[in-house]
Homo-oligomer: A and B are copies of this chain.
């Protein structure tokens, strides 16, 4: 028997719920459910499966030393805004053991034999290899940071920020070398958040983005506001800037893009992630056009008794109707719930995950920026003829103190008036984005939003919500 299996059985015996080992080993009366990956989707799937099936054997294999990490909190851990490292570990292996779920960290699943339902595993701590089997499997291998092939990317002081261990390494380096000049390469969600948090550590921060603007998932109106805000806060922004080389001698000392050079004694590279699908692909699972694992609405892969969830799968963007790969923690959580429930229930399970809207939000210093559905550019690429309206207005009743400003842009299908997307930047952005996300989810049109009954009081918004104001302007253009 493999060591992992021995340990699991001892946990199960402790829980005191199961019959003698010998009986179980022989008859396989109890279903064995395995999750590959233990961040958001994998652990959620395991927890849901346990609720659905109190008897099943459930094991989670996880490469990193901690499962159930809140990855979205990592930028805030860098600056100390989130100070307690433990608080980022939503649940420890011991927590899961209490629910009779075995979580084996530092274990990599190297091969899935889908025909025989067997797994090849390596214990990264000991190097030991062993096999396991499953009755049903959930693949939740997530996504990993793209490492661009830049000379000098292996210099000391050049980091990624994907796992808690990455944050540990950055903080260790900061403590040891007290870097003064930091460069964040990549101005997506994580890049923008990291730039702010390095600034809070007292560093002189530059942000470098290869695309023509920061936050490229957004239209230029929002990107300009973000760039202006960053510059106001003292973060220098370089767009259309493709890093060609990190320079230094053992430790990083700078970087070069075009004919420009910047000094840097700390670099974080965050130019995107890609789905970790090799394991699934080698096992024969169908891969979608986005490069992520293809699943049906029940999160079932093309392999028998194998489900998948989280950053490694593709889904549908319900605003465009097209396949989409959207690696975000909340979506991974929701997918994990569906995959875990269905894997526990088996073929007759009918829980569905309908798709996503690509909703997202980030805070950069005092500016909240979010979107739901498609940007105008994304809607056009998806083949829609679009009508849009962007307005800037007060975020509270104009006479109420601390009324801020907010920009909101709505994008809709010119033919039907259906809301396709919304972008928001400014005070109270999170509320307006979620209202628009809900409207898109409900397939409401812009004219539907003109008379929507949202809740009004002076401390919470202007008498007519910015959503209503923008919808009114847009409806006049349809």
Contacts and interface: CB of A to CB of B under 8 A. Distances in A.
Given A398-B87, A435-B438, A442-B443, A451 B334 contact: yes
B70 A454 contact: no
Interface in A335-368: 337-338, 352-363, 368
Interface in A67-109: 70, 72-73, 76, 81-82, 84, 87-88
A431 to B, nearest CB: 4
Contacts of A438: 435, 438-439, 442, 444, 452, 454
Contact of A453 (B40, B82, B331, B459): B331
A38 B352 CA distance: 52
A56 interface: no
A472 B477 CA distance: 39
A270 interface: no
A458 B196 CA distance: 14
Interface stretch (A119-127, A381-389, A461-469): A461-469
Contact of A455 (B352, B360, B459, B461): B360
B70 A330 contact: no
A12 interface: no
Contacts of A156: none
Contacts of A88: 399
B442 A439 contact: yes
Interface size class of A (residues with CB under 8 A): 35 or more
A291 interface: no
A441 B438 CA distance: 10
A466 to B, nearest CB: 11
Copies in the complex: 2
Contact of A362 (B352, B433, B457): B457
Nearest to A319: B453
B361 A457 contact: yes
A454 to B, nearest CB: 5
Given A400-B82, A442-B444, A72 B463 contact: yes
Interface in A394-448: 397-401, 430-431, 433-435, 437-439, 441-444, 448
B398 A463 contact: no
Contacts of A333: 463-464
A371 interface: yes
A69 to B, nearest CB: 11
Nearest to A330: B456
A353 B451 contact: yes
Contact of A430 (B82, B337, B399, B461): B461
Contacts of A433: 454-455
Contacts of A42: none
A455 B430 contact: yes
Contacts of A465: 330, 434
A441 B444 contact: yes
A435 to B, nearest CB: 5
A186 interface: no
A121 to B, nearest CB: 29
Given A84-B399, A442-B443, A72 B457 contact: yes
8 contacts: A73-B397, A87-B398, A361-B455, A430-B461, A433-B454, A435-B438, A437-B455, A442-B442
The list of the 5 closest CB pairs from A to B, nearest first, reads A442-B442, A87-B399, A361-B455, A438-B438, A330-B456
Given A70-B458, A82-B401, A372-B453, 10 more contacts: A72-B456, A72-B458, A73-B400, A87-B398, A337-B472, A356-B453, A363-B460, A372-B455, A434-B434, A435-B438
